[in-house]
Amino acid sequence: MVIKLITALGEIRMHQKVAGIEFPKTNELQVVFKDTFADLLIPISPDMDHQLLVGIFYDYLNHPVSKLAIA
C-alpha cells in the first residue's frame, strides 16, 4: 500500500500545474500549485489508497477555489 501511495504522490507531483508537495503536519499532504489555484490540503489516513488520493487531486483540479482548500 505504501508503494501505491508513493506512486500517487509522484503522479500528482509531475502534473504541470503543481509546484510542489509538502507535509505541514503528520498525516497531512499539501499540494502547492504554480498558478492561481489555491493550495490543496489533504488529510491522509492509513486506509487511504492510491485511487482515492489521486481522485481527490483531480476532483480539485475540476473545481478549484481561490483560497486554501481542505479535502
**Residues 57, 28: Cα–Cα separation, whole Å:** 14
pTM (two decimals): 0.80
pLDDT confidence tier of residue 71, bands split at 50, 70 and 90: low
Which amino acid, 30?
Answer: Q
Helices (H) then strands (E): counts for the chain: 2, 4
The model's pLDDT over 2-15, given as tens digits with 9 standing for 90+, comes to: 667 778 888 899 99
**Residues 24, 18: Cα–Cα separation, whole Å:** 16
**Residues 37, 59: Cα–Cα separation, whole Å:** 13
Number of domains the chain contains: 1
C-alpha cell at 65: 477555489
The model's pLDDT over 33-42, given as tens digits with 9 standing for 90+, comes to: 987 778 899 9
51: domain range?
2-70
